[in-house]
Chains A and B, each alone.
Chain A
């Protein structure tokens, strides 16, 4: 197996949720794990095994109880919250299972919002860039449509465009095809993978779908890494 630099590296990461009365629920306990850069990794595992929690920790939307999480050599969990937010906006794209598009905004505005939060692209250029990305995903004629006027497949494409808006080096996708029919899921997956591969973006996808498992460069079962004895390299080739 070729040595690939890590886009994300976890060291001694633990995540526990308080249950009250001094008790807590331990969800994650990852001694060491690295996500190879520029690859598509599919994270799988049973319900409640901590897949989404792991995604949230990598995105910096929640903090680990212990340990460090480095995203492109930046310890995201150690950053103060405003800097963590800015880092996430500029370096991490997020695709949700239920798209999570903002209903009051058009397709174009949904993508531009992501740019506004990142603050990296000059305002006059945001509209052009957003239109360009949407056109690349086949939504050139849907720029002024609101989410509720679009099909589910189109909505997920907008969500992908939004995740790509700031050209982040890392995209996290939580069950991106789970709300789509098989045909649409295949198309959306294909587009997500092709745009990420084209840009050399690291993609971490949480999924149970066979098509997604088959499309990834590697599949990681979260129950396999979520143990103290787990070490780098214990990945399963598909």
Chain B
């Protein structure tokens, strides 16, 4: 027998109370872990999912809406810009690459993204690479001869079950324009996994307004200047016009992070309250257990147990509850974060690197054990100070 086995025996002796106390610690820890993981994952998702292009040109409106919609496939699309804007950019000597993008409707919740083959081009400055796992990329067909070919993002193919060669359309009104799957992309760990890529020609034919009015609307143009020094000029040039705006995706991302950091601060405050509640629950549990056991403590002292031994037993009990709760909480927190990430992912939210173990887990686990020790301190001192004769007297 050791002091630890005595502490564990006592915990087993009041199994239900111990289990509930550990569960409360576990819930608190899992809340902290899940919040931390999701917060980190969302930020990482935004960073990894952002575009390689330095500038985004779209219709006048909210820069955040433009970036969220065109880059992350969130929010509603901004108004259209004309194809001429793309032409202007293509002809601009300061521009190295300009890629037109039009955001269309959706098939089973996965948005159509009309673009050109340039969207998938591997360029030396691009971090992101696109590769086909099955089939091929669609062809840049001429506007008058749309091929209605579609390339599916990895998640779209997995969730819809569509394969190369399958034909599909959303709703009866689109039955005239069925798309054929010609390729499936490898996972890119970005919003592109949840997109259905089609050619601009197909999009314009499928779009009733552009078909009837003979216009070629676009949502945005992704721009890479030849020199970074030209970026400010391009940005200014497209912002002074009444129809367009040019935004730096990185600046918008910074704004999003500023908002997220505010959320983090509020969350931190809530988590501190959770930690205090868990601390109080653990304290009350240990305090009442010690009060109930004063006669047993006096008996142990009468049998020769030193005060320090009694102190150690109570502290170890409290720490053991925190260790069990902490371990369950870390595991549970990952589970909750996984569920949260799945829900966010299902709605197009960017979440990445959820299960990379960092400093969070050991810090939270260590914090839980420290809280356990703190909660057990007063009950342990109470046990330490138990007067033997006084507590044996009524029944002896």
Q: Which residues of A contact B (CB under 8 A)?
A: 52-53, 56, 59, 61-62, 81-82, 85-86, 88-90, 92, 94, 96-98, 100, 102-105, 109, 112-118, 123, 126, 162, 174-175
B113 to chain A, nearest CB (A): 65
A45 to chain B, nearest CB (A): 15
Q: Classify the interface of chain B: helix, strand, loop or mixed.
A: helix
Central interface residue in B2, B10, B299, B304, by most chain A CB within 10 Å: B304
Q: Are A117 and B304 in contact (CB under 8 A)?
A: yes
Q: Can you name 29 A-B pairs with beta carbons within 8 Å?
A: A53-B389, A56-B389, A61-B302, A61-B388, A61-B389, A62-B388, A82-B308, A85-B301, A85-B306, A88-B304, A96-B395, A97-B395, A98-B395, A98-B396, A100-B302, A100-B392, A102-B300, A104-B14, A109-B1, A113-B1, A113-B6, A116-B1, A116-B2, A116-B6, A117-B300, A117-B304, A117-B305, A117-B309, A118-B304
In the complex the two chains form, what is the Cα distance from A38 to B10 in whole Å?
37
Q: Verify if B92 is at the interface (C-beta below 8 Å from A).
A: no
B194 to chain A, nearest CB (A): 55
Q: Verify if B9 is at the interface (C-beta below 8 Å from A).
A: yes
Interface residues on B, range: 20 to 34
Q: Are B302 and A109 in contact (CB under 8 A)?
A: no
Q: Verify if B295 is at the interface (C-beta below 8 Å from A).
A: yes
Q: Are A100 and B304 in contact (CB under 8 A)?
A: no
Q: Verify if B303 is at the interface (C-beta below 8 Å from A).
A: yes
Q: Are B306 and A86 in contact (CB under 8 A)?
A: yes
Central interface residue in B2, B9, B308, B389, by most chain A CB within 10 Å: B389
Q: Verify if B12 is at the interface (C-beta below 8 Å from A).
A: yes
Q: Verify if B296 is at the interface (C-beta below 8 Å from A).
A: yes
In the complex the two chains form, what is the Cα distance from A36 to B154 in whole Å?
92
Q: Are A104 and B299 in contact (CB under 8 A)?
A: no
Nearest to B3 among chain A residues (CB) is A116
In the complex the two chains form, what is the Cα distance from A187 to B393 in whole Å?
26
Give every chain A residue within 8 A of B300 (Cβ-Cβ). 102, 113, 117
Nearest to B14 among chain A residues (CB) is A104
CB-CB nearest 9 A-B residue pairs? A89-B304, A104-B13, A117-B304, A61-B388, A100-B299, A62-B389, A116-B1, A98-B395, A56-B389
In the complex the two chains form, what is the Cα distance from A140 to B389 in whole Å?
32
